[in-house]
């Protein structure tokens, strides 16, 4: 995977979207070439939902929540429930990994267009619990942080599965 460093001459939008795309591509790369059996292995003690498929599906639904529900103000049609708030991770082990990867990539393309169509200062339609409305810039920064943090989990799980490291 090619590292995407951001030259200081790039504008803010390009820097934010480039780094989000880089973290997304890294998450997908961590799942490439795995069997369905490997994608559903939970190898971290105390974290039965931490599978490669589960983490990738979680990333997909986190972006859905931030863009569709919070930013656009849409209805929450996510897979989670009050009884099973991590259901997006649980159901991924029964989905073909190729589908999870394709759905994440397709959704990322849609959100790339959504971000391009809005000013970075545009506030989310739904407020956070403190009543504030984060702007699109904050949402992008948060998604970079969230995806990068989970890429660390994917690194560890992948190394435990087959010894693969890097990227």
Biggest distance spanned by C-alpha atoms of the chain: 48
> How much is the pLDDT for 66?
98
> How much is the pLDDT for 3?
60
Domains of the chain, each with CATH number or no CATH: 12-162 (1.20.120.450)
pTM over cut 0.95: no
Query: CA 65, 152, 55, 29: dihedral to nearest 10 degrees?
Result: 100
| CA distance linking residue 153 with residue 27, whole number of Å | 10
Residues of the chain with pLDDT under 70: 1-9, 167
> How much is the pLDDT for 9?
60
144 burial type by CB count under 10 A (0-12 exposed, 13-18 middle, 19+ buried): buried
Sorted by sequence, the CB contacts under 8 Å of residue 54 that are 6+ apart come out as 40, 42, 88, 89, 90, 92, 93
């Amino acid at each position: 995977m090619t590292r995407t460093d951001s030259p200081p001459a790039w504008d803010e939008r390009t820097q934010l979207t480039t780094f989000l795309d880089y973290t997304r591509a890294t998450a997908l790369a961590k799942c490439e070439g795995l069997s369905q059996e490997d994608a559903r292995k939970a190898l971290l003690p105390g974290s039965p939902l931490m599978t490669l498929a589960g983490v990738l599906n979680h990333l997909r639904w986190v972006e859905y929540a931030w863009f569709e529900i919070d930013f656009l103000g849409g209805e929450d049609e996510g897979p989670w429930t009050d009884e099973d708030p991590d259901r997006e991770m649980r159901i991924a082990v029964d989905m073909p990994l190729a589908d999870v990867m394709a759905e994440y990539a397709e959704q990322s393309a849609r959100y790339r267009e959504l971000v391009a169509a809005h000013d970075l200062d545009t506030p989310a339609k739904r407020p956070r619990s403190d009543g504030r409305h984060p702007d699109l810039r904050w949402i992008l920064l948060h998604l970079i942080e969230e995806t990068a943090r989970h890429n660390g989990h994917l690194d560890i799980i992948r190394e435990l599965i087959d010894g693969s490291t890097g990227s």
